[in-house]
Structure 1
């Protein structure tokens, strides 16, 4: 299901939509991860953007 572009509030900016390919792809490219790695992070830590970014940075350091 696509995002409703007529809704202009910003409630979901702090979430990563794991079912939206473009969001998962963007997140993967931003942190140099594969799409399966991003999906694993979302499954493990939820879709909170701040938590995912923190975990992605830690994953990149390893």
Structure 2
């Protein structure tokens, strides 16, 4: 499913889509890490932003 750019809140903000370059870049900046680490975290724990934050915090 394509990213719905009309959504600026809600469920769309809770998930990280690593297949959208701009979204991956923005999440990496927001989480103070690299896009590669975001991809690693999503692969390990799924695309939920909360779980990705926890994973990166514990690594």
Q: TM exceeds 0.5?
A: yes
Provide runs of 4+ in structure 1 moved above 4 Å.
none
What do residues 12-55 of structure 1 show as CA deviations (whole Å, max 9, x unaligned)?
A: 22111111111211111122211111111111111011101111
Q: 1:31 touches 1:57 (CA, 8 Å); kept in 2?
A: no
Q: Which residues of structure 2 form unaligned runs of 5+?
A: none
Which residue number corresponds to residue 21 of structure 1? 21
Q: State the aligned residue count.
A: 58
TM-score, length of structure 2 as denominator length: 0.71
TM-score (norm 1): 0.68
Give RMSD over aligned pairs.
2.2
For structure 1, the 5+ residue unaligned runs are none
- Structure number with greater Rg is 1
